[in-house]
Amino acid sequence: MFDLMIKGVSLTDGREEFDVACKDGKIVEIAKSILGDSKETIHAEGCLLSPPFIDPHFHMDATLSLGTPRLNVSGTLLEGISLWGELKPLQSIDDIISRAVKYCDLAVAKGIGAIRSHVDTCDDELKGVQALLEVREKVKGYLDLQLVAFPQDGVFRDPTALENTKRALDMGVDVVGGIPHFERTMSEGARSVKLLCEIAAERGLMVDMHCDESDDPMSRHVETLAFETKRLGLEGRVAGSHLTSMHSMDNYYVSKLIPLMAESQINVIPNPLINIMLQGRHDTYPKRRGQTRVRELRDAGLTVGFGSDCVMDPWYSLGKADMLDVAFMALHVGQLSSREDMGWCFDAVTKNSAKIIGLEEYGIEKGKPANFVLLQAKDKIEAIRLRAHRLLVVRDGLIISRSDPVKYTLHKPEGDIDFNEIN
Ligand code: FE2
């Protein structure tokens, strides 16, 4: 007797009309027409069963704070950072916990199974760190939350940031972050990359740096990040988030840079919703898109995973924990329009991001944990086109979120017609 059976689904590798059977929290069989009884059977013919969405870049200490204490008028990254500086002393640990848990609930209902969240360490009380460590514990039964120690105001620019970042790591924050383009000079930025990578190497941790989130083509800290990664033997464990200056860099320089990044196996995390909103704000026309060179980085063999970055916070007023919105935007901005490229954009919010954050036992395979999301779409491209409705979310074999299929009834003179977007 199985615990749960999902019948007639398409899988993300292109297989169609398969059944997936689960028992004791694991996937025990994937085949056409599985025989045998199940405590619960879901008939999902024509729908797509995907491993959970993974968000490799988020700011959970700031989420759902929109309008507190005021809105970002200029829409720039820098006003967002100063607005966040105004909010930080006003919020309590309980405020952060309550917003973060609310966001986690929404994220899980939207099929997200893991989030890597940066947490600001530029605060002598480390309120965000205390709050998110507690949230990580609270949600662990249904969501994997990985935390990055992020010195938002600059590890050198803020006088106590270095000490507080180390304290956050001592308290159990998982990954070392940084923001070299926000340090006072280019050389201070490069020095911050070196120091933070050394801290990660000493402690055996991964690195994920906000790197060159700027339209300045001379913001080249990713070069130092790749160099330090190689020097310290951190290959495959380091991510560069944003990397927007690469959009504006000289092509000749990039022809040297990308092979250096490939040699160091730097993981790449663009955040398309946020950067299409924030970048190019100093341009008149043409306005630069500011998305990093996704196609070229992917084609050089680097792992690319798209992050959502912000939802309703000082930097971005919109968002709804929907990784298909993220993929949809990345696809458009990067002109990733071939069938292969569109399918790959789905991978960038699922398996690529799982690999970047080091998630183990990920994927719909026999013997792995029964973690998946059922989408009202027939394949990966349709899932992005529709930002498909999430019918079921399953974690360790248990249905943790469920919703009815979307259906429209059109009242026409000749009679009612029922339809949804996939029939
Ligand atoms: Fe970010």
Distance between Cα 210 and ligand 1 center (Å): 6
Q: Based on the structure, what is the number of domains in the chain?
A: 2
Same structural domain, 277 and 312: yes
Distance between Cα 170 and ligand 1 center (Å): 22
Same structural domain, 178 and 295: yes
Q: Is residue 378 part of a domain?
A: yes
| DSSP code at position 329 | H
Q: How confident is the model at residue 323 (pLDDT cuts 50, 70, 90)?
A: very high
The pLDDT tens digits for 161-172 are: 999 999 999 999
Same structural domain, 13 and 126: no
Same structural domain, 170 and 304: yes
Task: Provide the residue count of the chain.
Answer: 423
pTM recorded for the entire structure: 0.97
Domain hosting 28: range is: 4-51+363-409
Distance between Cα 3 and ligand 1 center (Å): 40
Last residue of a domain, which of 356, 377, 400? 356
**SS3 call for 158:** coil
Q: Is residue 399 part of a domain?
A: yes
Last residue of a domain, which of 335, 356, 377? 356
Same structural domain, 13 and 154: no
The pLDDT tens digits for 218-264 are: 999 999 999 999 999 999 999 999 999 999 999 999 999 999 999 99
Cβ neighbors of 111 (< 8 A, separation 6 or more) are: 50, 52, 53, 323, 373, 375, 390, 393, 401
Q: Is residue 402 part of a domain?
A: yes
To 10 degrees, what angle do helices 251-263 and 221-231 make? 20
Taking a C-beta distance cutoff of 8 angstroms, is the pair 212, 245 a contact? yes
Q: Which residues are catalytic?
A: 213
Same structural domain, 118 and 160: yes
On the 0-12 / 13-18 / 19+ scale of CB atoms within 10 A, 345 is buried
Same structural domain, 218 and 335: yes
Distance between Cα 151 and ligand 1 center (Å): 11
Same structural domain, 266 and 388: no
Distance between Cα 192 and ligand 1 center (Å): 17
* CATH value at residue 107: 3.20.20.140
Taking a C-beta distance cutoff of 8 angstroms, is the pair 181, 212 a contact? yes
Same structural domain, 322 and 203: yes
